[in-house]
Every structure is written in structure tokens, then in C-alpha cells.
């Protein structure tokens, strides 16, 4: 007999009453160079319950997100535009400067210092999504970023004496150094200021473009999936999170399914829209909503979720709180119902052998996405 702990029961009960509806982020800081947005646990309580942080960086042309590190391991996904990102791994002698573009995914372990830059000649904003694990962070459900420079940088917290001693500078030079960058987190560079260019070689093992990578699932008129794993993005192992990009066509359906290894699913709608239903304990439908591009929602552990796209289709990027997630689907060729004995299925639904046979005979070839038919449009 499996014993259920009081903490598990409390977490399940809490998930039943939480507001699971999709939410948009709020601006945290920014200026002329761009803005940093994040989702707050008070607005989206499942962030705290799952110890997941979610944020979005948007840089205008010439915008620079000053060097920083975070208290959380995370996955970054480029939603829009192209630019440059630098990654400095702990105890490495030099940074890797990466050209980045829409569809790129990066795994950022603990202790990584990054900066992000949108080109002066850019015609669109550079927008990057961050999803990660805050279980070891300062605030459950929210990233804490530590700026190295700027008005909120760590230099400003040390006295001039400490800065001068640490970097062997004259006192006046140390005082000047910590006061010359008045920007907080994000700045806009002057026209003509030359930034280092990215190197394609540095992308190897650091970046996976989910729009160009081989598909893990490809169903005609249904949908496509690219999964981030330790084979195509080795740093995923250090981050401890799984991730995928899912694109379903207009009116297609994603099979009802659940994570069977105690993982939360954190989903950001990249573009398009559709209907979402989530069913929890005692067969209670805990969420029925229409999700649109720019929204984030979280599915609690073991809860069943399904989505049906609107006529424009639907695309989402998700992280799962385990590097090698395991899912069970309730419809399609791999449905658990296909493996259960006919007599048990008949008894479970209290139905006739004919209805059981009809139920089992459907979706014999379908995988996890179901293309629309004349009855579903």
C-alpha cells in the first residue's frame, strides 16, 4: 500500500483551490534600452508551489542587459529577434559570445554570468523567455538576479576602500568606477559603440535551435515536437529540467495526458491560441480557459491536461521539473486504455462489449496529436 504523506495531501489540496488560469507578466525594471518582466507568485500561486521562476527580457535596438547571474538554474528561449548573448561558466578563463536568434534554447546552470545585447541595426525587439528552478533561490517562485554593474550592481554595495583593495586601484579610480554606470540592469548603448560579435563555433553544445532541430514527433496536420535533452543540449543535465517546443495546427488536439513522475508542467504560449482543460483530483475540472500568446500557466503534478488549437494553431514552450520526464496519455495509439484488458475496460465504464470494442477501435494509429476531422471543426 502506498502511503500518502500529509505534505503531499496538503499540496494536492492547495492545487485544487489555486487559481490556475494563464497570466501575463508585469514589468520589473527597465528603461530606454528595454525591460525585464516577471511573473509574481502572488499573481500565479502555482509558481511558489512548484518552486518555478518565470521571466521575460525585451531589448530595444542597441539595448544591453548588463552582466548578471541568478540564484536559479534556468532554460532561456529566444521568442523573437536576433542578437548576442555572452555566457561565462564558473571557473572558465573567457566568455563564450553567442549569436542568437528566434527559436534558440540555452541551458543556464547555477553560477553562470550572462549579458544580452540587441544590435543597433535591429528592426525588432530581442525577446527572451526564462523558466527555471527556484527551489534553492531566495524567493520560491521568483528569480533573484544579481547585477554585477550599474546602479543596483554589487560594486555599489562595497566601500571604495574594498573596491580599491580588491582590484588594486587608486581610491579616486575606484570611486569613479562604481559611479560611472547610472543605469539599472538594462541600458541603451550610444550609436557607434562597438560590441563584440558572436562566434558560431561558440554555439556548439551551448545552443539548440528548436525551429531547426530534428523533430521528435511529426504528425501530418496534427503537430510537431522538439525535446531538449542531454544529447542535443548537454547542459540540460546540469540545469535539471526538461523542455520542449510544441506546435499544433489549426483545430488540432493534444491528447489528454499527465506527468507520471511527480513533475510540474510550466507552459508559455509563444503564439496562437486555443482552449485548455485541466482535470484534477476526484475528476474535478480545475481549469477551463482560452490561452493566448504571451500567457503562462502551470499544471500541477499528476493532473491531466489537454489543449485544442484555434484556427490559427498554437505554439508553446514548456519546461518540466525533471530532466527526463515520463508522460502517460489517455488517448491515441499509446493510450493506457489500449493496454488494459477488454473485460476490465468494459467493467470500468459499465458498458456493453460493443461500446467497449468501439472505444478501443479508435485512434489506433494516432500518436499524441489529433488532426481535425469533419466532426471536430
CATH of the domain at 37: 2.60.120.10
Residue-level pLDDT at 223: 94
Residues 191 and 211 in one domain: no
Other beta carbons within 10 Å of 262: 12
What is the predicted pLDDT for the residue at 353?
A: 78
Q: State the cell numbers at 340.
A: 488494459
Q: How far is CA 219 from each of CA 172, 216, 325, 370, rounded to the nearest angstrom?
A: 65, 10, 21, 8
**Same domain as 215, residue 141:** no
Q: Considering only CA atoms, which of 25, 150, 132, 158 is closest in space to residue 71?
A: 132
Provide the domain count of the chain.
2
376 in a domain, yes or no? no
Q: Do residue 210 and residue 233 come from a single domain?
A: yes
Per-residue pLDDT at 2: 38
Residue 139 is given by DSSP the state B
Written as tens digits, the pLDDT of the chain (377 aa) is 334 455 455 554 555 567 899 999 999 999 999 999 999 999 999 999 999 999 999 999 999 999 999 999 999 999 999 999 999 988 888 899 999 999 999 999 988 999 999 999 999 999 999 999 999 999 999 999 999 998 889 888 899 999 999 999 999 999 888 888 888 899 999 998 999 999 999 999 999 999 999 998 899 889 999 999 888 998 888 898 889 999 999 999 998 887 776 678 899 999 999 999 999 988 899 999 999 999 999 998 889 999 999 999 999 999 987 766 666 665 656 566 566 677 777 777 787 877 767 766 655 555 678 888 755 55
pLDDT score of 31: 93
Same domain, 192 and 212: no
* Whether residue 96 sits in one domain with residue 77: yes
CA-based max dimension of the chain: 89
Return the pLDDT at 1.
38
Q: Which of 235, 214, 333, 314 is nearest to 267 (CA)?
A: 314
* Same domain as 316, residue 342: yes
Determine, yes or no, domain membership for 239: yes
Show the domain range for 11: 4-201
The domain boundary, picked from 143, 171, 201, lies at 201
173 and 229 housed in the same domain: no
Same domain, yes or no, for 175 and 309?
Answer: no
**What kind and span of H or E run contains 355?**
helix 353-361
Residues 194 and 217 in one domain: no
Answer yes or no: do 135 and 163 share one domain.
Answer: yes
User: Do 59 and 105 reside in the same domain of the chain?
Assistant: yes
Q: Describe the crossing of helices 342-349 and 353-361 by its angle, rounded to 10 degrees.
A: 110
Comparing CA positions, the residue from 290, 296, 233 lying closest to residue 270 is 296
Of 201, 225, 248, the residue that ends a domain is 201
Do 261 and 128 lie in one domain? The reply is no
Neighbours of 267 (CB within 10 A): 23
Amino acid at each position: 500500500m502506498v502511503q500518502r504523506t500529509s505534505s503531499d495531501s496538503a499540496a494536492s489540496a492547495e492545487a485544487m483551490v489555486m487559481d490556475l488560469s494563464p497570466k501575463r507578466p508585469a514589468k520589473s525594471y527597465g528603461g530606454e534600452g528595454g525591460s525585464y518582466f516577471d511573473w509574481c507568485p502572488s499573481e500565479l500561486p502555482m509558481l511558489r508551489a512548484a518552486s518555478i521562476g518565470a521571466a521575460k527580457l525585451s531589448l530595444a535596438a542597441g539595448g544591453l542587459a548588463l552582466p548578471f547571474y541568478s540564484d536559479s538554474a534556468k532554460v532561456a528561449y529566444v521568442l523573437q529577434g536576433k542578437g548576442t548573448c555572452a555566457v561565462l561558466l564558473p571557473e572558465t578563463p573567457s566568455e563564450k559570445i553567442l549569436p542568437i536568434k528566434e527559436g534558440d534554447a540555452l541551458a543556464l546552470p547555477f553560477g553562470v554570468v550572462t549579458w544580452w545585447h540587441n544590435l543597433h541595426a535591429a528592426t525588432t525587439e530581442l525577446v527572451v523567455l526564462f523558466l527555471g528552478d527556484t527551489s534553492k533561490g531566495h524567493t520560491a517562485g521568483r528569480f533573484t538576479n544579481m547585477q554585477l554593474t550599474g546602479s543596483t550592481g554589487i560594486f555599489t554595495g562595497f566601500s571604495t576602500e574594498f573596491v580599491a583593495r580588491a582590484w588594486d586601484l587608486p581610491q579616486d579610480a575606484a570611486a569613479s568606477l562604481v559611479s560611472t554606470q547610472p543605469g539599472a540592469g538594462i541600458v541603451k548603448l550610444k550609436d557607434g559603440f562597438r560590441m563584440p560579435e558572436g562566434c558560431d563555433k561558440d554555439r556548439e553544445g551551448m545552443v539548440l535551435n528548436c525551429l531547426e532541430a530534428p523533430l521528435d514527433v511529426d504528425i501530418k496536420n496534427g503537430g510537431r515536437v522538439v525535446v531538449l535533452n542531454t544529447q542535443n543540449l548537454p547542459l540540460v543535465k546540469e540545469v535539471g529540467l526538461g523542455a520542449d517546443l510544441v506546435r499544433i495546427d489549426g483545430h488540432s488536439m493534444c491528447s489528454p495526458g499527465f506527468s507520471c513522475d511527480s513533475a510540474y508542467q510550466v507552459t508559455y504560449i509563444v503564439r496562437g491560441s486555443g482552449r485548455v482543460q485541466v482535470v484534477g483530483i476526484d475528476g474535478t475540472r480545475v481549469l477551463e480557459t482560452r490561452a493566448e500568446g504571451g500567457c503562462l500557466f502551470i499544471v500541477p503534478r499528476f493532473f491531466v491536461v489537454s489543449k485544442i488549437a484555434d484556427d490559427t494553431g498554437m505554439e508553446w514552450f514548456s519546461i518540466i521539473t525533471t530532466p527526463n520526464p515520463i508522460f502517460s496519455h489517455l488517448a491515441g495509439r499509446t493510450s493506457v486504455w489500449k493496454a488494459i484488458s477488454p473485460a476490465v475496460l468494459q467493467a470500468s465504464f459499465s458498458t456493453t462489449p460493443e461500446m467497449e470494442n468501439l472505444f478501443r477501435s479508435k485512434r489506433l494509429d494516432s500518436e499524441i496529436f489529433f488532426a481535425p476531422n469533419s466532426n471536430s471543426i
